[in-house]
Amino acid sequence: MTEHSQLDDFERTGGGAVLMDGNRLRDEIVAELNAEITAAGSPEVCLATVLVGDDKPSRIYVRNKQRKAAEAAMVSRHVELGADAAQGEVEEAVRDLASNPGVHGILVQLPLPEGLDADAVLELIPPEKDVDGLTPRSMGRLVRGQPGHVPCTPLGVMRLLDRYGVPTSGTRAVVIGRSTLVGLPQILLLGRKGVDATPTLAHSRTPELQAVCQQADILVAAAGMARLVTADYVKPGAAVIDVGISRTADGIVGDVDFDAVQEVAGAVTPMPGGTGPMTIACLLQNTLAGARMLGAFPA
């Protein structure tokens, strides 16, 4: 990064890097959504969640999304099916929500239990209600620059960069990871008109990955490889965003070695408390946008 003066007013880590606090920004966004919905007369803006099986982390994720939806003055609808649910049962539940005019966003919590075809389920979600931004139609709209929902995690990264004054125009950005959930849409968002970064897509098989990362003014780590990004990967003053999650003997860790990197970076996300909360914030923003697309909320 070159415009460090934009970052002067924010909380910093012990090493001097700006701490890009996703919890704080999520709560700001939730409060803004609440104010906007309340000012419009509190029309029902509904997020529907579908949970299949008894995966404990998935249950926690869904509960957190419902709680934040309530704080944003939205209503939640929840459909829960057992781990033994057949493909047809899951598809029928999603079809019902898709055809319900009172539902403005549908989130199918992934992963589904083994044996279920997630792609076939997601295909049933109309683009206007695809608030996770994961269906082929939503991804196609993103590629073509057409209106639609952007996947929540990469959108959350963009919100953090904007909120914490990280310049993007004319910068070099590197995204480690090529998933359709994060890496590929992140590249599109960083390179789109108005953002104007020059992005590079890297991955675990990129030759001289460390040298590639050292060129980045903005480094997004989304490879799912525990503490892959060390201080040696980071250009002094760069913004480093940790998206990866790995379960290790030390517990859940990210792709970034935070303690080492915060001594070199100009700005860095914590883990937890960085991109995770922003995923929920952007899900709720997408839900309100979906209500607008469907004519259920004032434009």
Catalytic positions are 65, 109, 132
From CA 98, how far away is CA 92, in angstroms rounded?
10
Nearest to 264 by CA among 230, 293, 298: 230
Structure tokens at 241: 């965003």
DSSP lists the bridge partners of residue 78 as 49
Task: Using the structure block, give the residue that is written with the tokens 């979600």.
Answer: 125
Q: Taking the CB of residue 59, how many other CB atoms lie within 10 A of it? A: 14
From CA 208, how far away is CA 228, in angstroms rounded?
13
Per-residue b/e over 239-260, b at no fewer than 16 CB within 10 Å? bbbbbbbbeeeeeebbbbbbeb
Residues near 29 by beta carbon (within 8 Å), at least 6 away in sequence: 159, 281, 282, 284, 285
Beta strands per DSSP E along the chain: 18-19, 46-52, 75-81, 105-108, 172-176, 198-202, 218-221, 239-242, 246-248, 251-253, 267-268
Nearest to 111 by CA among 125, 121, 101: 121
The count of C-alpha atoms lying within 13 angstroms of the C-alpha of 16, restricted to the half-sphere facing its C-beta, is: 8
From CA 181, how far away is CA 175, in angstroms rounded?
13
